Amino acid sequence: MSRLAWWLIRAQFMTRRTATALSILAIALGVALGYAIHLINAAALADFAQAMKSVQGEPDAVLAPRDSAGQVPLALINQIARDESVAIVAPVIETRVRVDRAPTAVKLIGLDPFSAAAVMPDLLPRPSDAASGGSLFEDGAYASPALLAQLGLGVGAGVTLSRGEARWNTRIAGDIPAARPDDLLLVADIAWVQAHFGPPDAVSEGRLRLMPGVKAADWLAAQAGRLPAGLALRAAEDDSARVSNISRAYRVNLNVLALVALLTGAFLVFATQLTAVAQRSTQFALLGVLGLSPRRRLLQILVEGLAIGVPGAALGLALGYGLALAFTQAIGGDLGGGFFSGSTPAILPGLAPTLGFFVLGCAASLTGALYPAWLNRMQPLAQALKTGFAQQPHAGHDGRPRSRRAWATAMALMTLATFGLTQLPALFELPLAGYAAIALVLVLGIAAAPLVTQTVFGALVKLALPAPQRIALQNIVQAPLMAQVAASGLIVSFALTVSMVTMVSSFRVALDQWLDAVLPAPLYVRSKGMPLPDELFAALKQPTPFEKLERSATGALSLDPQRPAVALLVRELDRADPAARLPFTGSVSTVARDRIAVWISEPMQQLYRLNPGQTLRLPLLGREVEVVVGGVWRDYARQFGAVVIGQEDYLALGGRFEATELALWPRRGEEAAARAWLAQRATSLGLEMHESGEIRELSLSIFDKSFAVTYALEAAAMLIGLFGLAVTLSASVWLRARELATLSALGFDRRMLTRAVMTEGALIAAIGLGVGLACGIAVGAILTHVVNPQAFHWRMPLEIPWTQVLPAAALTLLAGIAASRFAARQATRLPAAQVLANAQ
């Protein structure tokens, strides 16, 4: 077998160089995209986990408040330290401070070097003898090398750290040698941090190392009931689960897109191999007569598929690795989801995923070769020897009314199934049913193509048309298989493109409107992670060019240790009319005066299954507080949920309202003065000032950036679809060699032949694009209404961007016609006499 097999493969590759190369490329592209996405995400995740490990260390469990404004009482830390199952408790105080007059706040971690040495060694400071007298316990802060570089400070420099009104005049007593190259942080002895920034008699959290042999889960379970309501002990393993949960939906989404690219690759292999089988049907028949068994004929096509898949997958791996490397070097580890930022993670391919993508590439190629291989096996030898390839070796369903009815019934059932799938909830918190529905829509589109073709062109054939056109029409109606193959590539790729464009455009329109609703004020000022300074409020009490101010504060509540924290927004809003500030998705229910009202975001509603009017226990201010959900508002900013509480309610609960953001309305006609007034304060106080327009632009540009990667996928899919059209058209030219030869013998000249083939291409492309458009809109609707809410927990109305879709369709049609020119050239080069002579 082997020698013959190699010889056949070589012959096949030599004669169909372009098609084979394109198939290899297409497989490579699918593999490369998937592999690159995997590599970048794996690297970013590892990097994120590493960063977390470097700051949090490797504890077994963490004792932390469930409210970011909360704290862990020192007495509790000391009590837990005496537990026999506990080896070490490493308490930390984490806060953010401003270094001198630097514009952004820096994280300051107060730690106890004794316990930190065991639990979070990467944070251990290194005192410079000259600057600190050599003691970690004395007055002094330690800076990461990156922070020193950013601030332009040296070890020994005096600095003033400030937070709100609290100040600590100290000096840089040394550095943090194990800090990661891009960590910007300060470390100091916990007592010094506490003495200057609090909290009194408490710490931010305690990180626990348990005694060897103690089962963390059992110990945690035993502790659970004994803790005060505002605190939670969580297994540190939950943290890594949470980290990977953060970006899971986004990663899965990207990988599904890569899978679609691979699918189109498989389709191209299908087209190529089908052509190859058709073109070599005589050769294979000859070999068959000489003793090549049907099984071997089947195997041969599969091996050829593999021969495309192996180099394709290998090339894809190399390409994907290069792509990932280039991407992380140029942009960083964030594919646009916004979950990882700032650093350049190292790309480290693992063996298992690398092999996995390799096998996936080969499998896609094999899948594409399956049907052609089966056809090759089923070829009736004698007939093939005489007349070449038989399209329908079984002479079956070629559009007779009965089978057409069965076909239609099957399609109706599939449509129902698709609809059913879109109604299913998320599985494992992933929109798996939604993805399945998308796959079904594509299958439906492909299956519908012959019906549409026959219906539409069957009618057209009856019109009086010039010969070339009529021949083209008749070809399509009578040989639906090839047309279907050519069209299905376009259907899939155009559907993908239209759906993505539709989804992105729906999202963008919704985001645009949402930004209007959430940015009511013209000017904003905020301090990241720190309360706004009293100095600013004192200045605002003087006559200013503003007519109105609104403060808000941000915090975080941990409702479920497995999930990222929910944002807590304390806002100055009117309890009677929260809709003035929040873009509600439905009706707002009034909450009794004596109850605490909160308004939850749409993601929170879905993640925690809450509805307006329901009560909910929030871990607020060290205890569990019963609140009533007054309504659900749209939020595209916080994927893991947000809850808004009115400032009055928050104060009534005993909270301290430390505003971190301020919205300002300038007096009419004094806008410029207001901007100048605020800009000056923002610079001197180290605050961020933004105009609402600026925030809008920034948000939209982030949005556009985050979807940039999908445009690359769409372009790739369209290219593959067009290749497919060209390859299949030339295949169909080969298949109809006798017919075309007959035509030219009957007097069809080159131009007429070219026109016939090109018309055929244009018609097929039109069908493909039409069906693709319909499928694309359906898939776009599924993406918008099913996948997005289930994966990211936000909803939006469907918005079809006709101005983008229709020009894209026209452009593709033109490209399709151009591609069919390639096939037409082959048709005109057919040695008509020889073909006809052979056919006898």
Partner 1 sequence: MQRRSFLLTPLLLAGLAPAAAAEAVRYPPARRGTRLAFPRDHGAHPAFRHEWWYVTGALDAPQRDMGFQLTFFRNRPGLAEGLSSPLAASQILFAHAAVTLPGARLLHAERAARANLGAGFSAVDCDVHIGAWQMRRHDTADSESFRLKMQDASFAFDLRLTPTQPMLLQGDGGWSQKSPRPDLASHYVSWPQLQVEGALVLDGKRQPARGRAWFDHEWSSTVLAADSVGWDWIGINLNDGGALMAFRIRDAAGASVHAHAALRDKDGRLQQFGADQVSFTPLRNWSSPRTGARYPVQMEIRVGPYAVRTSPMLDDQELVSRRPQPISYWEGLVSVTGALAGRGYLEMTGYASALNL
Q: Which residues bind partner 1 (CB under 8 A)?
A: 74, 77-78, 81-84, 86-89, 91, 112, 114-115, 128-133, 135, 137-139, 152, 154-158, 171, 189-192, 194-195, 201, 211-213
Helices 236-279 + 281-289 axis angle, to 10: 80
332: left (phi over 0), alpha (psi -120 to 50) or beta: left
- The greatest distance separating any two alpha carbons of the chain, rounded to the nearest whole angstrom, comes to 104
202 or 591: CB nearest partner 1: 202
Q: Measure the CA–CA gap between 660 and 663, rounded to whole angstroms.
A: 10
82 or 402: CB nearest partner 1: 82
Please return the burial class of 335, using the count of CB atoms within 10 Å of its CB with bins 0-12, 13-18 and 19+.
buried
Strands (E), 202-270: 202-203, 205-210, 231-235
Q: Which residues touch 802 (CB under 8 Å, ≥6 apart)?
A: none
> Residue 145: is the preceding peptide bond cis (ω within 30°)?
no
Strands 546-557 and 661-666: antiparallel
Q: Measure the CA–CA gap between 4 and 287, rounded to whole angstroms.
A: 10
Shortest separation between residue 74's beta carbon and partner 1, angstroms: 6
Shortest separation between residue 533's beta carbon and partner 1, angstroms: 23
Shortest separation between residue 566's beta carbon and partner 1, angstroms: 31
Question: Could you tell me if 341 and 334 are in contact, meaning their C-beta atoms sit under 8 angstroms apart?
Answer: yes
190 or 777: CB nearest partner 1: 190
Strands 596-601 and 623-633: parallel
Shortest separation between residue 111's beta carbon and partner 1, angstroms: 11
Q: Is the dihedral of CA 680, 682, 686, 689 positive or negative?
A: negative
Selection from 701, 700, 694 nearest residue 522 by Cα: 694
170 or 812: CB nearest partner 1: 170
156 or 336: CB nearest partner 1: 156
Question: Could you tell me if 557 and 566 are in contact, meaning their C-beta atoms sit under 8 angstroms apart?
Answer: yes
What single-letter amino acid sits at 780?
G
133 or 177: CB nearest partner 1: 133
Selection from 392, 382, 364 nearest residue 273 by Cα: 364
7 or 114: CB nearest partner 1: 114
What single-letter amino acid sits at 325?
L
195 or 378: CB nearest partner 1: 195
100 or 694: CB nearest partner 1: 100
Q: Which residues touch 128 (CB under 8 Å, ≥6 apart)?
A: 155, 156, 173, 174, 175
81 or 436: CB nearest partner 1: 81
Shortest separation between residue 72's beta carbon and partner 1, angstroms: 12
Shortest separation between residue 180's beta carbon and partner 1, angstroms: 25
Q: Which residues pair with 427 in a beta bridge?
A: 430
Shortest separation between residue 174's beta carbon and partner 1, angstroms: 11
What single-letter amino acid sits at 389?
F
Shortest separation between residue 234's beta carbon and partner 1, angstroms: 20
Shortest separation between residue 609's beta carbon and partner 1, angstroms: 40
Shortest separation between residue 209's beta carbon and partner 1, angstroms: 10
Shortest separation between residue 621's beta carbon and partner 1, angstroms: 22
Computed on alpha carbons and rounded to an integer, the radius of gyration of the chain in Å comes to: 33
CA 532 to chain centre: 35
Selection from 541, 521, 529, 519 nearest residue 681 by Cα: 541
Shortest separation between residue 532's beta carbon and partner 1, angstroms: 26
Shortest separation between residue 211's beta carbon and partner 1, angstroms: 7
Residue 306, helix vs strand vs coil: helix
Shortest separation between residue 153's beta carbon and partner 1, angstroms: 8
Q: Measure the CA–CA gap between 575 and 572, rounded to whole angstroms.
A: 9
Q: Measure the CA–CA gap between 169 and 495, rounded to whole angstroms.
A: 63
What single-letter amino acid sits at 547?
E
Q: Measure the CA–CA gap between 293 and 300, rounded to whole angstroms.
A: 11
Token pair 């100040």 in the structure block, residue: 167
27 or 172: CB nearest partner 1: 172
100 or 749: CB nearest partner 1: 100
**Quick one: tokens of 430?**
């992933």
58 or 648: CB nearest partner 1: 58
Shortest separation between residue 146's beta carbon and partner 1, angstroms: 19
3 or 82: CB nearest partner 1: 82
Question: Could you tell me if 216 and 235 are in contact, meaning their C-beta atoms sit under 8 angstroms apart?
Answer: yes
83 or 572: CB nearest partner 1: 83
Token pair 């605050």 in the structure block, residue: 687
